[in-house]
Amino acid sequence: MRVLRWSMLAIGGLAIVFGLAACGKSSKKKSAGASKAVSGTSLTIYSSLPLQGASGPQSQAIVNGAKLAVSGVGGKVDKYSIKYSSLDDSTAAAGKADDATVGANARKAVSDSSTIAYLGEYNSGATKISLPILNKASIAQVSPSNTYVGLTTNKPGSEAGEPGKYYPAGTRTYARVVPTDIIQGAAIAAAAKADGCKSLHIWNTQTTYSSGLARNLSAAAKKIGMKVEGNDGIDPKAPNYRSLAASVHSDCFAFTGEIESNGVQAVKDVGTSHPNIKLYGGDGVVTNEFASTSKGLPASVGARFKGTIATLDPAKFAPAGKKFFKDYEKTYRTRNPDPYAIYGFESMALLLDSVKRAAASGTVTRAAVAKALLSTKDRNSVLGTYSIDKNGDTTLTDYGLYKVVRGKLKFDKVIKATK
């Protein structure tokens, strides 16, 4: 009996020792994967974007832009051939990014040993899910559209625990090519103030992006002397907002939500309930579809709408930017590229440049590419010259103000908002 007991104890002890050893080995393997040089000469860059639903056209423009960037370098960086794989993070049923699909896409990229970088997500809320997964594997990630403050800093607009919780590896791997909502919020407030607004009512759709931008806008509006009469979260699934619109009493109204969160209906209902109210929105709604009279705002409401997006007037871009628009129009046979196309191009170009710099400094590993990404300095790009700061934010600060003219977005002016 005593022998049996000692044998059981010995087996148990051995199991614990082997178990601990296996754990140690697996955690070592993870970090080894991040710093291990790529075997072979084929690298994959994944993108994860909502190709279905209301954001589908913008996502497709980003994919087109990214493809143009890859073909611009002949599909090769240094000795490596680049394979671009576009993933869809939305589902047909949801008509927008789906959390489970976002996670599955990120895990797919992590498990592919040829993955070197990741382009995405389109929505800040989706990045909250993919970023920790990719960060653990030290995969460089660039978003063409995220503006939510908390993804990179704990500045106003962020929530408790941000941004640390998105970086379980302890190092930064994420960057974005659009300015944050601190700047966008200030830009919308500045535009409203310039139009003579004295009071502002804000609606948000309770998503990460929307409520964050609403907080930033509210703070910026108060700072420049505007009265904020309300910051209401709306139900994105409501059939209409007419009664809610009746409770808006300000001379100006701002919607910080997304087009896929019933954005058209919300702005339309406020616009029709108050025939003289001035309407504003952020980059979640400044799209060709939102402006279109057939799919978006009726002409009488559209005429009173202005919105911000980081894209500036194509005519005022530097030669590189102008060349992009020319190439894009020629390749995709369109005369009116979506404002997000250039961000898709630049996100991919930034990742390719990071791979190039990592290759130039020695071996190409996931960690080396992420490090190169975060040390981007004075990059001459289609968007102009910018750097990526230590948090992963771009140093670009200008927002373009667009208005709607006869169902089309029309560039109005550049807003130079201070942080």
Partner 1 sequence: MEASGATVARRDTTLLARARDLFSRYALILVLALLPLGYAADDLAGGHGLSRIATNLFEGLSNGAIWALIALGYTLVYGIIELINFAHGDVFMIGSFVSFGLWGTLGLTLATGPLGLVGGLLVTLIVAMVVCGTLNTMIERVAYRPLRNAPKLAPLITAVGFSFILENVGQLWLGGSQQGVPDLIHSQSELLNVLGVSVKRADVLALVATPPLVLALTTFISRSRLGKAMRATAQDPEAARLMGINVDTTISVTFLLGGMLAGAAGLIYALYETGIRFDQGFEAGLIAFTAAVMGGIGNLRGAVLGGLIIGCIQQVSDNRIGGEWTPAIVFAYLVLIMVLRPQGLLGEETREAG
CB of 245 to partner 1, least distance (A): 9
- What's the rounded Cα separation, in Å, for the pair 383 and 379? 10
Nearest distance in Å: CB 124, partner 1 = 19
Considering beta carbons, is residue 37 or 93 the nearer one to partner 1? 93
Smallest separation (angstroms) from partner 1 to the CB of 362: 45
Q: Which is nearer to partner 1, 52 or 141 (CB)?
A: 52
Nearer CB in complex with partner 1: 33/95: 95
Nearest distance from C-beta of residue 64 to partner 1, angstroms: 18
Given the complex with partner 1, which of 125 and 179 has the nearer CB atom?
125
Name the region of 145 (left: φ>0; alpha: ψ -120 to 50; beta: rest).
alpha
Least distance to partner 1, CB of residue 116, Å: 31
**Residue whose CB is less far from partner 1, 237 or 330:** 237
Cα gap 33→179, rounded to integer Å:
32
Q: What is the DSSP string of 145-211?
A: S---GGGT--STT--TTTTGGG-TTSS--EEESS--HHHHHHHHHHHHHHTT--EEEEEE-SSHHHH
Q: Which tokens is 319 given?
A: 């030669």
Cis peptide before 159 (omega within 30 of 0): no
232 phi and psi, to 5 degrees? -100, 140
Q: Which amino acid is at 225?
A: G
Smallest CA-to-CA distance from 400 within 383, 415, 418 is with 415
Nearest to partner 1 of 90, 138 (CB atom): 90
Could you list the residues that contact partner 1 (CB under 8 A)? 52-54, 56, 92-93, 95-96, 206, 232-235, 237-244, 246-247, 259-260, 262, 264-265, 268, 272-273, 289, 292-298
Closest separation between CB of residue 62 and partner 1, Å?
16
